Structure 1
């Protein structure tokens, strides 16, 4: 998530003519500040559903998707690998893309499913994982794909328009800056990520964006180890005890407001993690 800077909010709605992304926290569909939703916890941990999903993939059976959802996701992957010849978006071979990109994103969704109408931010979205597949299969969600790299956010804005995801916005900004932006700080029900930083840094980047009661959910290689590594950072930033609801999913529920000093300046959470 290195690079990129925040600025004045600027944006456009789906259907407007494409234009260059500004140096702004929100490049498309600015809809902040959000009213506080009157609903229960946005994400319910459900490890069994994710385990069933992994068994389906190991046995070679397709994930359960509607025909139109599968078509949108295949078109997204085609566009991803077309752009990957020009900018570095993924190192995953094309033949592994469905399992590694789509499958893992949907496992995260199955493990910690957002409540209907939740507001979700994908921190360090990169090529759009896990946020973009989640947005395809959950069009009721309001999703922001956040990344600090201009090339990646240009790709994300392009593919969002291409496949017609009207509830999705793209933010070209560092997560540290977004977490201090009025209307974005403590405005989301869910924050997701795909191991874009060490677990303690992930907590410092994601938890300030969540309302109290919201949940951070991240794809990691070893969730039990990650949950132990970020226990202090989670507490400091307002979270509860980190959980590992699935072997590759780290989850932290926000229990109280994040202290004003967090997140620290860009780059500091990764260089000097809260241990």
Structure 2
């Protein structure tokens, strides 16, 4: 390589050079959905080039014109060790700072992905929290008490969700964001179902989320779900009302996940770290 390194936004006709990059990722979903990625309004994808050769790819997804989550990072294995991924992500953050009104940049990666975590730490992003993805097949559901009350008033749901001490909200399964009234719109809240315990101190919010399978994404905000009578009965009752749900998904703290480990098998690949940087 003897060309000049440069970064630019990717176009539809960059798919050919993307396919020529050797990443050692079998059936890479980025290649499969590349046309959709390029055309989505809330996605921006960049490439690092040496002349016409693509060395790395990365981008970000935006939420409500305030938050950006970095992702889609890929680099050519033939040229790793040259700081290409770090350079590209730094350029993307610089672009966000100078060309958008976004206020927050996040990165979300598996604990076992040490290479990605090393890159992120070089970007001056701070570790915010650790989240355990818990994915359960439906046959794990067992009745454990009375089904919780369902609430449909979006104003009440919003205030309940904002009342927790959590600073993170799992907006989508792979997109935990700083908790914010901004995105808890009536339209967003209407896509899920809200259930509250009879004592009024614990509640859950369930939405469908598609990640290869259709999941019931159960959002619960405390570490004590194993102590809450009716929790699994409520999840089961909700799923019975949905015809296409195939699995259950929870984003939990390691403490909450450990309380379930005697019943369910946990996978270290499902422990994720969230990093952040405020730009304002």
The normalised TM-score by structure 2 is: 0.29
Q: Mark the structure with the bigger radius of gyration.
A: 2
Q: Which structure: greater helix fraction?
A: 1
TM-score of the pair, normalised by structure 1: 0.29
Structure with bigger strand share is: 2
